[in-house]
Amino acid sequence: MMMRRCPLRSAADRFTRGTENTMFDEVLSAVEFLETRGWELVNMDQGFVACMRRVHPRP
């Protein structure tokens, strides 16, 4: 007996992954923007939470 995948489930999986990729891109864009403003990335939690710190220029 051959099992068939439900087309609705696979479409939902694709939507979820697409949404996650979009959120990841938005976080990376924000990180890149803040890096140009004197911040540095410390840690990233599964692509959705970016921990950053302010880098103070040395005199």
Q: How far is CA 51 from CA 9, 13, 19, 23, 47, in A?
A: 34, 28, 21, 16, 11
Whether 27 has a pLDDT exceeding 70, the answer reads yes
Whether 50 has a pLDDT exceeding 80, the answer reads yes
Whether 52 has a pLDDT exceeding 80, the answer reads yes
Domain ranges of the chain: 9-54
Whether 31 has a pLDDT exceeding 70, the answer reads yes
Residue type, 13: D
> For residue 50, with 0-12 CB atoms within 10 Å meaning exposed, 13-18 middle and 19 or more buried, which class applies?
middle
pLDDT, tens digit (0-9, with 9 covering 90-100), for 35-49? 999 999 999 988 789
